Amino acid sequence: MLIVDSVQHAKAGHAGMALGMAEVAYFLYRHAMRYNSTSPKWFNRDRFVLSAGHACLLQLRLKTQSKVVERKLKMENLAKIEDLKCLCKLGSRTPGYPENVVTQGIEVTTGPLGQGVVNAVGLALAEANLGARYNKPDVAVVDHRTTDLALSEDISARFEALGWNTITIDNSQGNLDAFKNALISAHCETRKPTFIRFPIIPGAVVHCLLKTIIGKLSKKEGSSKAHHGTFDDDDVKQMKQKVKWNDREPFHVIPMVYREMQAQIDLGGRLEQEWNSKLNYYQNKYPEEAAEFKLLVADGMIPGWESSFPKWSMSDPVDSTGGYSGKCLNALAKVLPGLIGGSADLASSNQAYLHNLGDFKQPDSPWGQNIRYGVREHAMAGISNGLALHGGGLIPFAATFLVFSDYMKNSVRLSALSHAGVLYILTHDSVGIGEDGPTHQPIEHLSGLRAIPHLLLFRPADGKETAGAYKVAANVEGALADVVGKGGYIVSDNSEKELPEIILIGTGSELCLCEASANVLRKEGTRVRVVSLVCRRLFDRQPRDYKEFVLPSSVSKRVSVEAGLPLGWKEYVGDEGIATGIDDFGYSGPYSEVFNKYGFTEENVTKTTKSLLTK
């Protein structure tokens, strides 16, 4: 009835699945899950994920049913009964979909359907990896479970074909004993993940496909009409009669429920105390492992990590930025034990592989820090979000070609929305990929990714900028003093005390074209400034004085050079400037010939610059 009252009061929301799964969710939160609602960030808590995020009323109503939480703690962001009355209202802690940055106790923002399952895999993978690295035969400090609950089509056969142990429960008549027995049965399966949408084995995903009735008790019961929206007055009246709720005010909670959830809170407090005692024992017996584990859980960084990057000099052989990236990634891995990730079957091309740190494999080597995702970009990014939001200090990286970022765009967007610290390594970032042609040559992708709020997109030009980008990506606050951390900076300028006559702005490999053109123009007596705009969003955040110092407003003649869609560059080159880019799909051919076709040569940049200077 709390579910019904919430959607009726808000005149919005999804009640269908929440009504159908009410008994199951109550059983999970009261009897199956280990968590402490007075300490929602306790590390060793069980994690609950909704694949069908619109059913978040299941979570929200369960998180309101303790008077201890509601009356005594008044914890910021922890939902209370009053919050249910604000369902879907602007600024409330009870949005229409679960938001981990809005409501305490929500583990991940599941977003569009299909995200929750891979998020849960990432959470479970984090458990398995951390457990394999830090648990000891006599003490396990990582033994929690990820629980993923979803209502879907009958996909048992699909999961069985993928090698899962599958259990199907008919809960249409509230058969909770069958659900309990299924959980007990899952304990016996130690090598396969079990499909009940519920992991019992630490580090293994256990899912449960439950046959329930959508919109249970209402006139819409069993139909798609129950998915979303309110109920008419007669329907609400009949539902109240069915559960003997006639004389109760909206948002009423019976005392028994408060007592039951209070009992769970008492249990949760004891569970956390027991785990803290276990951690103290672990620290005394295994001090080195405990120090690293506690640093990870606290999201700490090993002091001096930023000095671990390779040092490059002008005499070193020139490498691709992808090559520099691989060297930086492996240098980081030596000082950041939380680094873990994979490359969507492209490790040999994008250099995103951690040497000597093994492959994550169940059950052989769950301690490995390289994940063999295969060609599954969407799953890779969704799993990375789960790894990042697990709270175990893991820093996931997900690598592929830039053009394939389209396959994982929703998950990348949710990384930004969820404040999940995922490193996306996107190589082969222009038509310079050459012979593979338009299908592999990204054009609009830089613009599309730059449009995502809060996402920091770096397009480094050399080894130093690549290292600078990694410093910011690994720890934003600690690296903003670096020029790359400012997003844009002056690479070269022969203007001395005068202002430049023209400014060339480049990113990535095209920055060298700007520098080569500038050298030609300088020999002819032109004052030229070259600026690297490695990360627009960070540059935009800088103080006005710094931005004016790099790009003086009085210098209106500007040329940007980037082998991608010119969208957005007018903001930096101005009305009188020229944005050199590509608004076509590219061609197959040697990279130099493709670059030449689109004007990405020193000669063409110089020609464009001279044409602007003579206006």
- What are the catalytic residues? 377
Q: What share of the chain is helix, strand, coil (3-state, %, to 5)?
A: 45, 10, 45
CB 382 within 8 A of CB 353: no
Q: Is 269 exposed, middle or buried (0-12, 13-18, 19+ CB in 10 A)?
A: middle
Q: Is 331 exposed, middle or buried (0-12, 13-18, 19+ CB in 10 A)?
A: middle
Phi, psi of 499 (to 5 degrees): -80, 150
Phi, psi of 477 (to 5 degrees): -65, -30
- How many Å apart are CA 599 and CA 565, to the nearest integer? 14
Comparing C-alpha atoms, which of 572, 546, 562 is closest to residue 490?
Answer: 546
CB 428 within 8 A of CB 401: yes
- How many Å apart are CA 475 and CA 469, to the nearest integer? 10
- How many Å apart are CA 238 and CA 603, to the nearest integer? 79
CB 377 within 8 A of CB 412: no
Is 580 in a helix, a strand, or coil? strand
Q: Which token pair is 196?
A: 């009940």
Interstrand relation of 502-506 and 558-561 (parallel, antiparallel or unpaired): parallel
Phi, psi of 139 (to 5 degrees): -160, 130
* DSSP string over 379-434: HHHHHHHHHHHTSS--EEEEEEEGGGGGGGHHHHHHHHHHT---EEEEES-SGGGG
CB 108 within 8 A of CB 131: no
- How many Å apart are CA 272 and CA 266, to the nearest integer? 10
Comparing C-alpha atoms, which of 527, 526, 512, 407 is closest to residue 460?
Answer: 512
